Structure 1
Amino acid sequence: MASRFMPSRRTGFALVAGCLLFSALAAATARPGDLSVGEIEEQLQNCPLVEALNEQKRASAPETASLTSQIFAVLFPGSPAVNSLLATLYISGPPNFLLALCPPNIDPASLSVMVAFAVGGLLGDTLFHLLPEIFLGEDSPDHVSFVMVEPNKNLLLGLGIMVGFFTFVAMDKALRIATGGEGGHDHSHGHSHTEVAAASTTSSEANDKTSGELKQRKSKSAKEVSEDSTPEKEINPSVKLGGYLNLIADFTHNITDGLALSSSFYASPTIGATTTVAVFFHEIPHEVGDFALLIQSGFSKRKAMGAQFVTAVGAFLGTFIGIAVQEFGGNSAVSEAGPGAGLWGTSLQWGDMLLPFTAGTFLYVGTVAVIPELLETGKDKGAEVRKTITQFLAVAVGAGIMLAISWD
């Protein structure tokens, strides 16, 4: 038995010896501290042992790309900057056009299952894609990858996640203060929770009165009914203020969506594509919920749709800001600086901090901003059990889609 494994053992020793010899030669020609991360990676790829691993990886790789990869290649065919703008267009256009199909008296509470599905997508993207990319980097299909452990770098990345998380905490807190401390969790975002306590009472009274008027005005067209469905004179001033504050918060959040898309595409095409899918899932209930709040705040259907299109400009603004930070602030993947020549003695550049910031905002939206809503229960125990099961299934489906997209 020993003689059977002798050739393979000798081959392994030879590869290790060759790798050590190459490392010694490399050390003699250049000091490791003078090399950038990319140069270190390039020299490691020339090691005989690593070359053998690369051959094995290429031999075991599938010959054809998966269906999702082919679809992503068609949707995002350009550079990271171009793909970021395309992704922003995809997540801003269709959800807003869907508002034309929404009835003006839609209840935000009816979106709970859709919100749960979006939360599964956001958390799935964060846990399956963003966090592994932040700390380990993107895998390459052509060669094995190495991770250079820098304790201070990991600390800065964690700090970026915390900054993103508490940025949304501050936004939520500011809106609660602006609305007199009566803000609450109405749908998928903590930053959009500007519906005051009087909103539910006022809107329900308006809807009851409107339903009676609709029965008496059968001769009116559907368009006229939708325009007059919420009489402005019956809207409480605090509710109107909540609607305008909601628009400001929506615009601000869309900026962070744009930052998320740009930072993701500069990290890798796969991360960018999966983040686009997660944000798209998230935008549909978000836009519909905001639309319902604007209707309750006295907006006509047409004005509410127009306001939502205006807030979509924030996503493009955030995308342009993210592209500028990546292009001019640098990125460790393309930087020529050594491991300790970046932020605070690490290999990080300013552009590398956008992705942790994105992960922090996604964690807030997927947990703090939504979990209280999912925990709300009524008196009908049977109905609540069925509702809870449906919500958990929706979360599992959303997360499962994110997992399936990136499964190798």
Structure 2
Amino acid sequence: MSNKKELKISNKSDRPDNIVLRDHLLIEKAMEYEKRLPSFMKDYFVYLKSSVAVSTRAAYLEDIIFFCEYIVNESGLTDKDDIKNLTVEDFKNIKSRDVNLFLGDYCPRYYKEREDHTFVYENNNRALARKKSSISTLFKFLYRNEQLPINITDGFNPIKLPKPQPDAIKRLDIDEVMVMLDAVESGEGLTEKEKVYWEKTKLRDKAILALFVTYGLRLNELRELNISSFNFSRGEFKIYRKRGKEVLMPINKTCENVVIDYINYERPKSEDLPEDVQDALFLSLQRKRLTPRAIRQLVKKYTSICMHTSRDKGYSPHKLRATAATSLIQSGFSIYDVKALLDHDNVTTTQLYAAHKKNIKRDIVNNFEWLDEKEEVSLDGIQASDNNNNNNLEANDVNIDTEADIKDENQE
């Protein structure tokens, strides 16, 4: 019988309980990782607490555990049989070459024996770059903390990341967004089995999709929304970004209406719910806060309908984030406005979506006319007069380019 006590949140901050609980669970995860690592890294653990986000801290420690397991089990660099027993002397024996072999030879493809199966794991360059970053922070800190005599990170091999290509960004076109929203409204494109659930969740699903394509929210930003996140009288709602940033977002009339409809007509009344989800906005049919997996499946289902493909080929919530970015830019908003809305760290990320703006050359020249309308008419009159004066010219030989002809030619 488990002696584990039920966790209760004593929240004295203005942050909602679910956000406090989320961060608490990440901290607990990081602390469990720390218990598995050698004691000489204690100063490094303290450094991470004050210098990086909670999620980053847990990710770094997980990567370092993986590296230490390699040192113990694969490298031959130590005689220790457990990563907990590694010492700073063992780390003094590690050279740049050893880390490069780990990142370049072992990590890209490695095997793990588990029960009756052998699992094959692969890491692409982006994953390798993250592991390199985690290991680099550790070795740099140990050097600055005077635990290592030299800084070996200068000898780490560079990891080339593929340059993001605008054409590779997957997103919905504006007309596909309209088809998707119509599908959640009417149920068209759903199977008979899906319609059974749709009848009970269509207002919830519509609100979720509208928020995704309007604001480009990240999955967890949407999942963590509460009823108390919305202040309809002031026309705004609060979200919690990465690294704990608290942001107020203005709410437009469309999103306000779909959220209110869901709360009033479909979501269970708060007083009928367990205490821990009374404030949660988006609930499952089991009356629990929606899981990330459930939200992904929901989005894949409706995006597959508008793209006329199978459910497993539907898009993820992050593709709706890309959809919001490209749609806003195509509507004329600057990349700096879109950067602010989507919380991009760097404007170059937003510029990738700007590259998707269709017919940009035609839009530029069509909106930059040197001749006014009256002058264009007079030129047409001159052309018509010249044609009438040429009696030998057959009608089917006359070549007058209309605006539609020019557009068709440009498209070809």
Q: Does TM, scored on the shorter chain, surpass 0.5?
A: no
Q: Which has the higher contact order (CA 8 A, sep 6+)?
A: 1
Rg (Cα) greater in structure = 2
More helix as a share of residues: 1
Compute the TM-score of the two structures, normalised by the length of structure 1: 0.21
TM-score by length of 2: 0.21
